[in-house]
Amino acid sequence: MLDEVEGWLRRRSWSAADRPLRTLCAAKEAAGAAGTISVVLPALDEESTVGGIVSVIRRELMERVPLVDELVVLDSGSGDRTAEVAAAAGARVVHRDAILPRVPSVPGKGEVLWRSLLVTSGEIVCFVDADLREFSADFVSGIVGPLLTDPDLQLVKAMYDRPLETEGAVVPAGGGRVTELVARPLLNLHWPQLAGFVQPLGGEYAARRSLLERLHFPTGYGVELGLLVDALGEAGLDALAQVDVGVRHHRHQDGQALGRMAATIYRTALERLVRTGRLKGEDDLVRPLLTQFSRTAAERPGQGGGFAPHTHAVPALERPPMTSVPEYRARRAA
Ligand SMILES: O=c1ccn([C@@H]2O[C@H](COP(=O)(O)OP(=O)(O)O)[C@@H](O)[C@H]2O)c(=O)[nH]1
Ligand SMILES: O=C(O)[C@@H](COP(=O)(O)O)O[C@H]1O[C@H](CO)[C@@H](O)[C@H](O)[C@H]1O
């Protein structure tokens, strides 16, 4: 690990307990407008978990203490009762298609995170996944805390244990599969300054709007890696930090879904290597497609055996910095 990163780990890694809520409320009051906080939950078919998360944030961080100013669930095109459940629990729910309709929305987590900047007003924006179970308010207060007390910080990521919990089986620290197999190796090899992040892909992070609005947003699952790499470039390592908030329990996707996620994350990294001149142009990427396989119903001797190929596009669409969007500038000027 680079000496710089070892020093960063000592200076910029904390525990949620290091900043008690009373300290944060005092810092928020002293910060004035700079201490306003918007929490955003990107949600695609999360009816079973979104309500519990919203309820905890409202009760603990809006009613018991006035830490969070607005709580928005960004509906990413859900087909279930996500919107109803989130609204009933006390969130403002906005559908992705209702935001900036002149730019038709595309599927993807990053797409809704980008659009959320247009419908929120906090100077600190905190993203929280909507599939978390056993959610604690520390996931929010822990990561917004340093942004309230340390003006030099720009982005703070949560770090946590990530057990892999599937039907009946729990593998301690088995979660974060794409992190361990793809993102951490990529970051260590190409952006070693970021090697100190324990959970670089974690979906819980908070940042100053003044940073987020200057960054490109990959529209899919590349958003975490893209924002972290670009935040390093924009703000420098010492403007970044991480906070231990305990254990993260969430719904786990299957291996092939994570394979598609990994391909998108790799492509997002490749794009940044090209953008910074460390790799030649797109000719380094032969085909933005990923073929996976499933067992066919019946073995078909002489016709490729018993497996069927399924080919998926590997998207790399990125949204421009919000500061380049006229509607965003007009809203901020109003
Ligand atoms: O197109 C998408 C994909 C995901 N998500 C949300 O983004 C968060 C993280 O997604 P997911 O749980 O699928 O990722 P994982 O944690 O499995 O890597 C969850 O709140 C999803 O509902 C979303 O809003 N739109
Ligand atoms: O970290 C990971 O490897 C993946 C998959 O986690 P699991 O192996 O299902 O625990 O989960 C994260 O990755 C996504 C892409 O960055 C984020 O959007 C998710 O919030 C995060 O859970």
**Residue 298 pLDDT:** 63
**Residue 279 pLDDT:** 85
For the stretch 247-278, pLDDT in tens is 999 999 999 999 999 999 999 999 999 988 88
Strand partners of residue 218: 318
Q: Is residue 269 part of a domain?
A: no
**Average pLDDT estimate for 70-76:** 98
**Average pLDDT estimate for 101-118:** 98
Establish whether residue 162 lines the binding site of ligand 1, counting it when its CB lies within 6 angstroms of any ligand atom: no
Q: Is residue 86 part of a domain?
A: yes
CB-based contact 50:130 (threshold 8 Å): yes
For the stretch 10-36, pLDDT in tens is 999 999 999 999 999 999 999 999 999
For the stretch 274-308, pLDDT in tens is 988 888 766 667 789 999 999 887 655 666 678 99
Tokens 């797109």 -> residue = 282
**Residue 14 pLDDT:** 98
Q: Would you say the C-alpha torsion 150, 155, 161, 165 has a positive or negative sign?
A: positive
For the stretch 129-180, pLDDT in tens is 999 999 999 999 999 999 999 999 999 999 999 999 888 788 888 899 999 9
Tokens 């900043």 -> residue = 19
For the stretch 215-233, pLDDT in tens is 999 999 999 999 999 999 9
In ligand 1, which atom is closest to the CA atom of 253? Answer: 17
In ligand 1, which atom is closest to the CA atom of 41? Answer: 20
**Ligand with an atom nearest the CA of residue 198:** 2
Q: Is residue 198 part of a domain?
A: yes
Strand partners of residue 158: 243
Establish whether residue 44 lines the binding site of ligand 1, counting it when its CB lies within 6 angstroms of any ligand atom: yes
Q: Is residue 236 part of a domain?
A: yes
Helical H segments across the chain, by residue range: 3-12, 21-31, 50-58, 82-89, 109-116, 138-149, 177-178, 184-190, 209-212, 223-235, 255-275, 326-333
Parallel, antiparallel, or unpaired for β 132-133 and 124-127? unpaired
Q: How many domains does the chain have?
A: 1
Task: Decide: helix, strand or coil at residue 122.
Answer: coil
Range of the structural domain that residue 69 is part of: 2-173+191-255
CB-based contact 12:154 (threshold 8 Å): no
| 44, 128, 162: residue to mutate for ligand 1 pocket, most atoms within 8 A of CB | 44
Q: Is residue 329 part of a domain?
A: no
- What span, in angstroms and rounded, lies between the C-alpha atoms of 330 and 334? 6
Q: What is the ipTM score, two decimals?
A: 0.98
**Residue 11 pLDDT:** 97
Q: What CATH number is given to the structural domain containing 149?
A: 3.90.550.10
**Residue 306 pLDDT:** 85
Establish whether residue 250 lines the binding site of ligand 1, counting it when its CB lies within 6 angstroms of any ligand atom: yes
Cα 324 to chain centroid, rounded: 22
Tokens 């998207």 -> residue = 315
Q: Is residue 62 part of a domain?
A: yes
